[in-house]
Structures are given as structure tokens and as C-alpha cells.
Amino acid sequence: MSRVVSNFWIEGNIDGYKSQIKGGPRSKDGGFDLRIYMRQKGEIFNPVKIFGKAKDEKTLVLYINVNSENYIIETIR
């Protein structure tokens, strides 16, 4: 499966929707911000945050925060 990917590409499916959610930044400096919200005992909270960005001309960085624990993935373009 081949894709045109500038820096990042996101795909997702949500029950009840025919169309897949997919896309990526349009520019080589582009990034994204993804947040997932859930309910816990009736309250809304945000357990997962994912941010992707170009760190510099050669490096891409993915920041993942899960329940306040941080993970960082760096790649060379």
C-alpha cells in the first residue's frame, strides 16, 4: 500500500461513519495534533495526546502522552 506522505499520515475509522478519517500535513514543515477523549465515571478526560512535528530539516518528532507518561519517537526523513 503506497501513500504520499509529507511528514505524517493518519488514518482512522469511527463506528457509524461511512468515510474513513485520513490525511496528513500539506507542507514539509507541517505537523499535527491529535487528542482522544473518553468518559470515566461520567466525567470527560483526555488520556491520550499525540503531536507530530518537524524538529528541523532532517528530523521528525512524534510526542505521545498517555495518562501523563511521555514517549518520544524521532526519525530521520
Show Cβ contacts of residue 13 under 8 Å, excluding neighbours closer than 6 positions.
20, 21
Q: How far is CA 74 from CA 11, 12, 23, 47, in A?
A: 20, 22, 20, 22
Mean pLDDT score, 48-72 = 96
Mean pLDDT score, 45-72 = 96
pLDDT band (50, 70, 90) for residue 28: confident
Q: In percent, how much of the chain has pLDDT > 90?
A: 77
35, three cell numbers: 487528542
Q: In percent, how much of the chain has pLDDT > 70?
A: 94
Cross-strand partners of 48: 36, 66
Rounded to whole angstroms, how far apart are CA atoms 73 and 37? 22
